[in-house]
Amino acid sequence: MRKILVIFCLLTCLLIPNSAADSSNQENWEVDLENGYISTKPIFVDDQVIVRTSGFWTGDDRPHVYSFDVQSGIENWRFSNPNSTNHDMSPLLHISAGQGECGTWSNMILVAWTDGQVTALDSNDGGLIWSSKTEVVTWGITGAMAQDGENLVVPTRQGLSRFCLSDGSENLRVDLPQLSWRNGVTVTEDSYLLGNEEGVLNIVSKDGNVTNITLSQGMIRHPPIVTTAGIISHLQTSSGSAIYLGAELISEEGRSPAIPVNIGSRVYFGTSESVSVWVCEIDCVLEGRSEFHTNGEITVEESGDSSVIWYPRNNQQGGWGYGIPGEVIQLFSSSHDTYTTAGMSFGPNGEMAFGNDAGVLVVVLDDENLESSQQDESRSSSFQAHPAHFLMVGLLLGIAYSIYNSNRDLTNKLGVLLILVVAIFALPFVSDTWSKEVDKLTENPGDWNDDWPDSWIGTQVVVFELPDGDVAIGGLSGYDNVEQLTDAAALDAGVDVEKQSYSIGEMIVSFDGHELEGWEFTVDGERTPVGISQAAVSEDSVVRWSAA
């Protein structure tokens, strides 16, 4: 009895510290933001990680900016812009407190929105400090802003604005003839550099004078990079992409260029086909190239004296590649991998924060337990020996030996162990396949309207929610994706469709000339994480187009 009492006390003592442990001592945490893609990298500010969402919101929900405690993952604050339209892809910008001729300012998070607004938020509580407005042409701001001393420089949809950091008053405005998209601005000693959708590199002096260099028929969708060799631009062209040094074409590259970065004289580029590094001193010279698929933000992890370059992998498999072009690009994967354009972000104490089109923010405080696979993409399709293979072979040999010796007991034992090993080995595949089958059982909310004719049942239907009334077209069949089905329905209904090509795919600009605040679609009442060209439809799907 006494001994049992001792054991009881020991167990209780052992477990009490566990009970009282602070739940914040986690090695990593994640949160589903549930209202959009994460298209730009999170940022670390003091003890916070701050991230923004864009895209597939539902109902009245709109893109947000969130702040979480780095250690615990507890939400500090959130900020939403109810007037935002699609694709808030301008990266968040942290500005440290300071002062200038136009006043003083505190620690701020600068957020640019697709409704043309620029908002300065208090980094401590997310409170609005000031807000300024820029022009909207279907979209507002989508490119990266930059700090220039006491000013914030903003690449707007059709020009450039500069605001005083202390109160948001505009002190420079330059209108440009060309539209732009994700065209970040670069601040140099005496000018601002920004590209546009017509392959023109604008050089805006700090007093507002504009000169430009026409590079090619293409789109500049990144902040131009300044090197000792000259200004580097990576244009997206109709056949792929092209790297320019000043006005000189130095290389033709693959499709959908990523946002390049430079470290000293080295400039890192990416496309859907490869990543490459060029050394730009007097001239630009290719130093290395590796096959990899990246289209988003290339980021840099400072690691002592060296740097590691990270590339978001923008295909269905997702994940992030890291390494130096010319060497094997390693792959980092998470449990939420899918299309990814947001860069990997790194905190001051080795923390990592990342997100992708799944809209889940993951923060890793200790990378020992990361689900990281180091794979060379080119090897991934070939057979790779796994310890389980050797174990299975060993068990088979053991079974053969036991049968030879008529040892039935040993045969049974090795037999069930073999079954267990095979079952464990096959589990990921079986579980994945089974899960997909089970998902089919989940009831889809559907989007059927009882007023529609019965003859439309089992056919493809498209609904356009135009300002002057809904237009529904049914009885269609044989179309594979939303784009094909929409085109066919629009043709039947006599609705004019205007589309535009972007790096993320085809997008609807207007129906019957109605641009509104942009258009979004659902398939059978649900949004999809992919664009109209990739969104699959079945033979009885209902596609609904409505104003964003």
Q: Which residues bind other proteins (CB under 8 A)?
A: 1, 3-5, 7-8, 11-12, 14-16, 18-23, 26-32, 73-75, 335, 362, 369, 412-413, 416-417, 419-420, 423-424, 427, 430-431, 434-435, 438, 441-443
* 3-state SS class at 447: coil
- Closest to other proteins by CB, 32 vs 496, is 32
Q: Which residues pair with 165 in a beta bridge?
A: none
Complex with other proteins: residue 6 or 282, whichever CB lies closer:
6
Which CB sits closer to other proteins, 3 or 304?
3
Quote the least distance from Cβ 362 to other proteins, whole Å: 7
Helix ranges (H only) for 91-230 are none
Whether the CB-CB separation of 28 and 365 falls below 8 Å is answered with yes
Considering beta carbons, is residue 137 or 434 the nearer one to other proteins? 434
User: CA nearest 337: which of 361, 355, 359, 319?
Assistant: 319
Residue 11 CB, nearest approach to other proteins (Å)? 5
> Torsion angle of alpha carbons 122, 27, 36, 268, nearest 10°?
90
CB of 73 to other proteins, least distance (A): 5
Nearer residue to other proteins within complex by CB, 76 or 191: 76
For residues 38 and 51, is the Cβ–Cβ distance under 8 A? yes
Looking at the Cβ atoms of 7 and 400, the one nearer to other proteins is 7
Nearest residue to 466 (alpha-carbon basis) of 507, 509, 513: 513
Exposed, middle or buried, 437 (CB in 10 Å: 0-12/13-18/19+)? Answer: exposed
- Nearer Cβ to other proteins (18/306): 18
Strand pairing report for 191-194 and 186-187:
antiparallel
Torsional class of 311: left (φ above 0), alpha (ψ -120 to 50), beta (otherwise): beta
How near is the Cβ of 411 to other proteins at its closest, in Å? 11
Q: Which among 295, 310, 276 is positioned nearest to 341, based on CA atoms?
A: 295
Please give the backbone phi and psi of residue 400, each rounded to the nearest 5 degrees, phi first: -60, -45
Cβ of residue 31: shortest distance to other proteins, in angstroms? 5
Give the sign of the dihedral formed by CA 114, CA 115, CA 118, CA 121.
negative
- Please state the closest distance from residue 380 (CB atom) to other proteins, in A: 22
How far, in Å, CA of 139 to CA of 303, rounded? 38
Query: Measured from the CB of residue 80, what is the shortest distance to other proteins in angstroms?
Result: 18
Q: Is 523 helix (H, G, I), strand (E, B) or coil?
A: strand
Residue number, 75 or 175, with CB nearest to other proteins: 75
Shortest distance (Å) from residue 345 CB to other proteins: 17
Nearer of residues 22 and 451 to other proteins, judged by Cβ: 22
Q: Which is nearer to other proteins, 65 or 463 (CB)?
A: 65
The closest alpha carbon to 333, from 424, 437, 254, 428, belongs to 428
CA 259 to CA 296: how far, in whole Å?
6
Looking at residue 478, its amino acid is G
Q: How far is the CB of 426 from other proteins (least distance, A)?
A: 9
- Rounded CA-CA distance 544/541 in Å is 10
Compute the least distance from the CB of residue 167 to other proteins, in Å: 36
Q: Which is nearer to other proteins, 4 or 385 (CB)?
A: 4
Nearer to other proteins, 207 or 368 (CB): 368
Closest CB to other proteins among residues 29, 320: 29
Question: Least Å distance between CB 333 and other proteins?
Answer: 13
Q: Collapse the DSSP code of 441 into the 3-class scheme (helix H, G, I; strand E, B; otherwise coil) and give the result.
A: helix
Nearest approach, Cβ of 121 to other proteins (angstroms)?
22
Provide, rounded to whole angstroms, the least separation between the CB of residue 104 and other proteins: 36
As a residue count, the chain comes to 548
434 CB-contact burial (10 Å; exposed 0-12 / middle 13-18 / buried 19+): exposed
Question: Quick one: which of 284, 287, 363, 330 has its CA closest to 47?
Answer: 363
What is d(CA 533, CA 381) in angstroms, rounded to the nearest whole number? 27
What spatial distance separates the first Cα and last Cα of the chain, rounded to whole Å? 72
Contacts of 267 (CB under 8 A, 6+ apart): 225, 227, 232, 260, 261, 277, 278, 279, 280, 284
